[in-house]
Amino acid sequence: MDRKEDDPELQVAKTGISSSKVVAKIFSKQRPEGHWEEPWSPYHPKYKSTYWQVMILAQLGMDKSDQRVRKACEHILQLQLDSGGFPSSTTEGALREYQGLRKKGKKTPSPSEWAASTVLEHQYSCLTGNIAAALIRMGYAYDPRVLKALEWLVRIQNKDGGWLCPYWRAHIKDTHGCFYGTICPMEAFSEAPRGILTREMEHAAERGAEFLLMHRLFKADHHNFQVINKSWLKLSFPWFYGYNILRGLDVLTKLGYVDDERLGDAVQVLLQKRRPDGTWILEGAPTGRMHANIETVGKPSKWITLNALRVLKRLHLDSSFATSSESS
């Protein structure tokens, strides 16, 4: 709506975020040290441990001006590896898992060797992209540790312009970029102020954009452009490691891709999902698995609607155009 930062109504809305029911419930589960659940397990349990809360809070509009946010961010920044990536498993967590395997009688190498291998293997491109994007949103854009994460993402980019989890054994033989692994680093680059991006980062973002665009955001670039995964057409919130066309459109339009005709198929799907009252439905969320449910699946969603309208605005598609496009 092009409100200025000092707009009174905007200031009231921003102030109200931290005391909102959802955010208050999330913080009620935070430990005094800044983490959620166990400090040595930032990824598990999914949607309830520390990484996930930082992602959610960043998407809900919280930033490091709040002491609780700073504590959480500093906690996860301590987990960053020297390479720049963020692992799903800490050394302590890996050693606990090692002991469990030993009790089951499974053959394993030495504890230190096994832990180091596990931490390295579970250094995901999607996780690092999500954490970098969250930290940038929360006010850490110029922090050297965030820049280090972005540099790591550049180094591990796949040959086709997408991203894979570089050390994960499940992907070790894969050659085609993963949409989940790609959208998260791309979101980090799209959130970053242009002034902090090196030429290498800009080039990585350009290659990633081409990877998404060559697939029309959701179609196979071979096989007559058939839909790759129908679940990608479902609009979800919050955004984690998953992919959907709205997230793809949001990232690409933030990066300035607004005139490429290859966006058209995804835009038409988005417009067709718009309800007569101008809203969009929440079609997916990990309901019951987060500390607090944000919205109800199957009901009109403020967050989906907001993100969709942001995309349409960047594409210069005003309400009248959107309505006529839907009817046609």
pLDDT tens digit string along 178-198? 999 999 999 999 999 999 999
Residue 26 lies in a domain: no
Domain total in the chain: 1
Average pLDDT rounded to a whole number, residues 289-299: 98
Residue 63 lies in a domain: no
Residue 245 lies in a domain: yes
Tell me the pTM. Answer: 0.94
Residue 307's nearest CA partner among 260, 263, 229, 254 is 254
Query: Which residues, in sequence order, are CB contacts of 47 under 8 Å at separation 6+?
Result: 240, 286, 289, 290, 291
Residue 241 lies in a domain: yes
Phi first, then psi: give them for residue 84, nearest 5 degrees.
Answer: 115, -20
pLDDT tens digit string along 158-169? 999 999 999 988
**Among the listed ranges 12-16, 35-39, 141-145, 305-309, which one has the minimum average pLDDT value?**
12-16
Residue 264 lies in a domain: yes
Scan for tokens 């071979």, then name that residue.
222
Average pLDDT rounded to a whole number, residues 52-66: 97
Q: What is the DSSP string of 244-296?
A: -HHHHHHHHHHTT--S-GGGHHHHHHHHHT--TTS-EE--B--TTTSSS--S-
Contact 258, 315 (CB under 8 A): yes
Helix, strand or coil, per DSSP, at residue 301:
strand
Give the separation between CA 283 and CA 68, rounded to whole angstroms: 31
Residue 13 lies in a domain: no
pLDDT tens digit string along 74-87? 999 999 999 999 99
Residue 137 lies in a domain: no
Domain that holds residue 315: 215-328
pLDDT tens digit string along 17-37? 999 999 999 999 999 999 999
pLDDT over threshold 60, residue 266: yes
Residue 147 lies in a domain: no
Contact 89, 43 (CB under 8 A): yes
